[in-house]
């Protein structure tokens, strides 16, 4: 049996492992975390709408049903494509075929030290940290006697007007409109300032103009200021510098301005394309290593006439690429080129506020919000998680109340040590 090593247990890696022929391949999935998670709902973790465990599922529990699949927790230190090995924090793993599905990380566009100063939502840990910081600002503002300092503490800047940025801005707007008056009597909601900045001419730029305009209307109804054609160039000592040279004080910045391919040491530089993504052909084979190396999902750059800059870095292309590659590996005599079937896009901006774009069809409001909830609910891994999320959403819908606004900071010591680090 051939040995396939999959780097990354996201949508692409997990779906590939599930669909490979059990009689032909032994599969090892490498991931730095021991669980699969659901990134489209990270913003709800960051806004205290859901607990991180509700959208996460242990790899080992999922793989126990697949006798040909094993799991290895570790950071990839180096890929040796000549010797066909992957070196992790703990050991060196040989492979017959390699699949890189490591996803992406935040792109700070070369702004010095930005990653140390802003909060993100690319991982469960980042989303949980962002939640803690939002709650910390609210609690500190509630006991602050200086009005000027209180307004500073209640200033939130969301950078990036894609789905994640729009959704977290809407969620914080709901906190201002519904939670503050009920649970923070010491605070005047008017003192809380929420602004979303987007570098292009509209939010949700990948969706239709109708969706963009409606999303902006929803945001403004939740007291979120939207600034378009606005680029962030620096952030120093709590002051944001914009491209026009202006500087403003912002206590908390939530970064959703862009992503780039997760760095993979050992992948040749000539295999990398725009945004650090790995260049692949129409079969998801890495250019120059077509016999034994593949890339899937957000990290794969497959250019076509319709998608000259690669496919959208969302769940559907990753899932479809994984299933197509599994078919090709299971039956190599009948290889199929990958053709992306765009099933549409959607985004939510709070309770009863969502937009759905199905190409030639657009709808919004409560119906779009219900569709958004249904699609995301059935996509979560694990029946227990689906039930808990549904109960949480139902309770929040009826009461606008949640018991998840818990400020849980990790202890500093003892420090965790990793082998090989």
| Degrees, nearest 5: CA angle 197-199-200 | 115
Q: 402: exposed, middle or buried (C-beta count within 10 Å: 0-12, 13-18, 19+)?
A: middle
**Nearest CA-CA partner of 41 in 277, 393, 317, 409:** 393
How distant, in Å, are the alpha carbons of 66, 213, 321 from that of 101? 19, 34, 11
Q: Which of 62, 167, 198, 251 is catalytic?
A: 167
Answer yes or no: are the C-beta atoms of 288 and 234 closer than 8 Å: no
- CA angle, residues 315, 379, 135, in degrees to nearest 5: 85
Tokens found for residue 246: 């202006």
Between CA 103 and CA 325 the distance in angstroms is 17
167 is catalytic: yes
Close Cβ partners of 99 (under 8 Å, ≥ 6 residues apart): 4, 5, 6, 7, 13, 16, 293, 294, 295, 296, 325
Measure the CA–CA gap between 333 and 368, rounded to whole angstroms.
43
Spatial separation of the C-alpha atoms in residues 304 and 396, rounded to whole Å: 43
Q: Which residues are catalytic?
A: 167
């Amino acid at each position: 049996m051939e040995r396939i090593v999959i780097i990354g247990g996201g949508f692409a890696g997990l779906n590939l492992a599930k669909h490979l022929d059990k009689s032909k391949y032994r599969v090892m999935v490498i991931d730095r975390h021991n669980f699969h998670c659901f990134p489209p709902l990270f913003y709800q973790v960051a806004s205290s709408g859901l607990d991180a465990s509700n959208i996460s599922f242990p790899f080992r529990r999922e793989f126990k049903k697949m006798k040909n699949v094993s799991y290895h927790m570790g950071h990839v230190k180096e890929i040796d494509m000549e010797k066909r090995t992957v070196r992790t924090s703990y050991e060196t793993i040989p492979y017959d075929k390699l699949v890189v599905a490591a996803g992406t990380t935040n792109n700070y566009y070369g702004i010095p030290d930005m990653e140390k100063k802003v909060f993100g939502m690319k991982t469960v840990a980042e989303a949980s940290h962002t939640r803690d910081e939002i709650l910390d600002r609210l609690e500190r503002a509630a006991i602050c006697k200086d009005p000027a300092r209180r307004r500073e503490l209640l200033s939130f800047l969301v950078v990036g007007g894609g789905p994640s940025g729009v959704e977290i801005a809407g969620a914080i707007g709901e906190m201002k409109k519904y939670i503050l008056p009920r649970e923070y009597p010491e605070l005047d909601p008017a003192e809380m300032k929420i602004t979303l900045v987007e570098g292009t001419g509209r939010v949700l730029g990948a969706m239709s103009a109708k969706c963009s305009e409606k999303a902006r209307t929803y945001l403004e109804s939740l007291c979120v200021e939207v600034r378009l054609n606005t680029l962030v160039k620096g952030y120093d000592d709590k002051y944001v510098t914009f491209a026009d040279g202006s500087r403003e004080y912002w206590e908390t910045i939530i970064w959703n301005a862009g992503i780039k391919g997760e760095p993979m040491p050992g992948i040749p530089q000539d295999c990398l394309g725009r945004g650090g993504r790995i260049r692949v052909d129409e079969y998801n084979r890495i250019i120059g290593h077509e016999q034994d190396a593949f890339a899937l999902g957000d990290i794969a750059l497959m250019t076509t006439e319709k998608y000259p800059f690669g496919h959208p870095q969302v769940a559907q292309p990753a899932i479809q690429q994984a299933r197509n590659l599994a078919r090709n590996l299971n039956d190599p005599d009948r290889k199929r080129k990958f053709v992306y079937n765009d099933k549409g896009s959607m985004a939510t901006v709070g309770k009863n506020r969502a937009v759905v774009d199905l190409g030639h069809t657009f709808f919004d409001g409560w119906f779009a919000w219900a569709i958004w909830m249904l699609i995301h609910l059935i996509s979560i891994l694990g029946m227990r998680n689906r039930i808990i999320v549904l109960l949480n959403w139902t309770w929040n819908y009826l009461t606008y109340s949640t018991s998840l606004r818990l400020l849980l900071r990790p202890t500093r010591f003892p420090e965790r040590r990793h082998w090989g680090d």
